[in-house]
């Protein structure tokens, strides 16, 4: 995850993940927990080296839930949800964007450290 410089565009290697929401009684659940946000304390984030990163991170994945099945991993940083940016949002806004009642499917763009390294390795191999 590259450090965000205000005013500069942020580049990252992302993976597309499509999660089908599961209906449990009256709720549609995705099967993971999020942490972070611009109103939260970024120093407590165990998933990143940059302790000023205020993005939304996946903190827990319930086993065999929709997110686990779709390939989401713990520690992933969510960059976009259904086209809505998730890098500069409050915690509550992120929750609301993910749990819109009229949507069955959420399409996430997530990034993780291993993605960047995989790209670098493949680029190195090509050369």
Partner 1 sequence: MQAPAAMEAADEVLQVLDVCEAIEETREVIVTTIEEDPIRNSPPVASCGAGTKPSQDDNWGETTTAVTGTSEHSLSQEDVVRITKDLEESVGLDCRRYLGLALAVVLGLLVFLTPLAFLALPHLLWPEKLQSCGTACEGLFISVAFKLLILLLAVWALFFRPPRAGLPRVFVFRALLAVLVLLFVASYWLFYGVRILDSQDENYQGIVQYAVSLVDALLFIHYLAIVLLELRQLQPCFSVCVARSTDGEARHYNLGQLSIQRAALAILERYYCDFPVHNPALLSASKSRAAKHLAGLKVYNVDGEFPEAPAEGPGNNAAAAAGMVQSQSRAMIAATARRRDTSHNELYYEEAEHERRVRKRKSRLVVAVEEAFTHIKRMQEEEQKKAPGDVMDPREAAQAIFPSMARALQKYLRTTKQQHCHSMESIQQHLAFCITNNMTPKAFLECYLTPGPTLQYGRDHWLARKWTLISEASVTSGLKDGSTFALRCLDFGLVVTTKRIPYIQMSEEYIDPKSHKFVLRLQSETSV
Are the C-beta atoms of 46 and 65 separated by less than 8 Å? Answer: no
**Torsion over CA: 87, 124, 49, 19 (sign):** positive
89 binds partner 1 (CB under 8 A): no
DSSP 3-state of 64: coil
91 phi, psi to nearest 5 deg? -60, -40
Asked if 95 interacts with partner 1 (CB under 8 A), we say yes
Q: Residue 81: beta bridge partners?
A: 84, 108
Q: How far is the CB of 56 from partner 1 (least distance, A)?
A: 10
Residue closer to partner 1 by CB (options 44, 127) is 44
Contact flag: residue 82 with partner 1 (CB under 8 A): no
CB 118 → partner 1: shortest distance, Å? Answer: 27
Among the listed residues 1, 30, 70, 72, the single contact to partner 1 using CB under 8 A: 30
Contact indicator for 58, 110 with CB cutoff of 8 Å:
yes
- In the list 4, 35, 71, 75, the residue contacting partner 1 (rule: CB under 8 A) is 35
What is the rounded CA–CA span in Å between residue 80 and residue 85? 5
Q: Is 103 in the site for partner 1 (CB under 8 A)?
A: no
According to the binding rule CB under 8 A, does residue 47 interact with partner 1? no
Token pair recorded at residue 70? 């779709």
CB nearer to partner 1: pick between 95 and 120:
95
Is residue 50 a contact residue for partner 1 (CB under 8 A)? no
């Amino acid at each position: 995850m590259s450090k965000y410089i205000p005013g500069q565009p942020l580049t990252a290697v992302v993976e597309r993940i499509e999660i089908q929401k599961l209906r449990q009684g009256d709720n549609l659940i995705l099967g993971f927990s999020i942490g972070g946000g611009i109103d939260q304390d970024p120093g407590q984030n165990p998933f990143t080296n940059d302790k000023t990163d205020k993005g939304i991170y996946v903190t827990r994945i319930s086993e065999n839930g929709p997110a686990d099945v779709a390939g989401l991993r713990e520690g992933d940083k969510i960059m976009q949800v259904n086209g809505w940016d998730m890098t500069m949002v409050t915690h509550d806004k992120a929750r609301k964007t993910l749990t819109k009642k009229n949507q069955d499917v959420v399409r996430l763009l997530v990034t993780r450290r291993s993605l960047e390294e995989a790209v670098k390795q493949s680029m190195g191999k090509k050369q």
